[in-house]
Amino acid sequence: MSRFALRLASTVMAAGAVVAVAALPASAAAPVNDHGWGRHARSQVVLGEVHHAGRGSDVRSGRALNQEWVTVTNEGRRPVSLDRWTLTDSDHHVYRFEDVTLRGHQSVRIRTGYGRDTSRDLYQDRRTSVWDARRDTATLRDSRGHVVDTESWGRGRR
């Protein structure tokens, strides 16, 4: 065979390999992360209701701050460790989960103010409001920094 024919044959084989990989089903090509679900699959841990503090004179009071919260729910049957996961807002306030495991079908509220952590309520121990009533986005990330879920509200959602 001539050099030209060899080059042409190798180019055709390489193009065929690219086409074969592109033709794989998406589920075969999607990597599976440490939670056992593919990158396009939905996590069993999701953000639920967000209750932000309204505008008013007592927004900085402990009572008002503890009425500001985000619910995180494990919709699966198996427990999920949230150790080193983070919850952030659009202004990059960060709450880091430590030694928290959600049992199957369990929810926990992450409150902005001060209090004693329980299986139902966790506290950020902040002195000022985190969640903007007009517009904001809550983002839940796993221990590797991958976005697990987001919840946005208000005009011009981010």
65-102 pLDDT per residue, tens: 889 999 999 999 999 999 999 999 999 999 999 999 99
Are 129 and 62 contained in the same domain? yes
pTM confidence score: 0.69
As for how many domains the chain has, the answer is 2
Per the structure, the complete domain to which residue 80 belongs is given by 45-153
Are 100 and 52 contained in the same domain? yes
Tokens of 3: 């050099």
| Residue 50 maps to a domain | yes
* Centroid of chain to Cα 12: 43
Identify the pLDDT of residue 61.
60
Are 126 and 64 contained in the same domain? yes
Are 23 and 57 contained in the same domain? no
| Residue 17 maps to a domain | yes
Tokens of 137: 């986005």
Strands 94-96 and 121-123: unpaired
* Tokens 């075969």 -> residue: 28
Are 72 and 109 contained in the same domain? yes
How many other β-carbons are positioned within 10 Å of the β-carbon of residue 58?
12
pLDDT winner (highest mean) among 21-25, 108-112, 151-155 = 108-112
Are 8 and 68 contained in the same domain? no
| Residue 95 maps to a domain | yes
| Residue 35 maps to a domain | no
Amino acid identity at 51: H
| Residue 144 maps to a domain | yes
| Residue 55 maps to a domain | yes
